[in-house]
Amino acid sequence: MKITPHEHNFGAAIEGVDLSAPLSADVTAQIRQAWLQHKVVYFPDQAMSHEQLEAFSLAIGPFGDDPYVLAIDGHEHIVEVRREPEEDVPLFGGTWHSDWSFQPTPPNATILHAKVIPPVGGDTHYADGVRAYTELDHGLQKELESLEAIHSARKPYSHEGVKSGGGDRRSMTLLPSDEALKTQAHPLVRTHPETGQKALWVNPLYTIGVAGLSDEEGGHLLSQLFEHMRQPQFIYRHRWQPNMLGIWDNRCVMHSAQGGYAGHRRVLHRLTVAGSEPR
């Protein structure tokens, strides 16, 4: 197995392993260690069936709970992220986010398998919450560690949110619900349960406020943090290829799907790995 890290050890390519075949305990442990160390890892040239993709996901951990999006028929844990050439609605996943951060136990990992990749555009950008936290002033770090952020799915997945986002004109089927109006408090600075690293753990899509602060105060603080987290030195820009499989750690990374491929189809298959309560 060959592991090639990117700058700052954020992101790495892994080659020399066939993910369509059953993985030994040793190989699985090596993959998990690389994922924990580099936060975003990807495997080129991995042709896989739905069943093989599910088997690999289970090698990483139990399936996560994926609300508000319709799964592939007969495969309740695989969501097809599809955009057709003529679509003119906002990108699915285009706003910076950490997957399902509004859940009581958000997913540890997201797995994405590329099927149809446009010749231009369609990248995914990732932001390193660990380095973003590390480079804050020490006093601000301590202040943030005492705060809880409020998360909700209301912006993209409430009935109003799906309608305003052109949900009725998407090739993907979204499932709006009043459940999306609920809120969930999580630590603003999250300690990774496996590495012990601290990370800024807020995102523009699902984080709607800060507990104990007014809407204006909380909004101002979050805007400052989002701007800080999106600085170029914290970003890894990933270019997909057909049959490439990627995994990232939602406990310390936020991501954003990029456009730039109007007139082309883009199709990927997505699963999540169940997580634990943020602390």
Mean pLDDT score, 173-182: 97
What CA–CA distance (Å, rounded) separates 173 from 18?
Answer: 32
CB 16 within 8 A of CB 44: no
Kindly list the domain boundaries of the chain, sorted by start residue. Answer: 2-273
CATH number of 2-273: 3.60.130.10
pLDDT of residue 140: 97
> Helix, strand or coil for residue 182?
coil
- DSSP characters for 207-258? EEEETTS-HHHHHHHHHHHHHHHTSGGGEEEE---TT-EEEEETTTEEEEE-
Active site residues: 97, 99, 255, 270
pLDDT digits (tens, 9 = 90+) for 51-92: 999 999 999 999 999 999 999 999 999 999 999 999 999 999
- Tell me: the pLDDT tens digits for 218-248? 999 999 999 999 999 999 999 999 999 999 9
> Other CB atoms closer than 10 Å to residue 176's CB: what's the count?
18
| Rounded mean pLDDT, 129-156 | 98
Q: Taking the CA atoms of the chain, what radius of gyration do you get in angstroms?
A: 18
Cβ(254)–Cβ(126) below 8 Å: yes
* All residues at 6 or more sequence positions from 160 whose CB lies less than 8 Å from its CB, including other chains: none
Would you state the pLDDT for residue 167?
84
Helical (H) or strand (E) element with 110: strand 109-116
Residue 279, pLDDT score: 97
**Which one-letter DSSP state was computed for residue 179?**
G
How is residue 93 written in tokens?
Answer: 């996943």
User: Residue 169: is it exposed, middle or buried by C-beta count within 10 angstroms (0-12/13-18/19+)?
Assistant: exposed
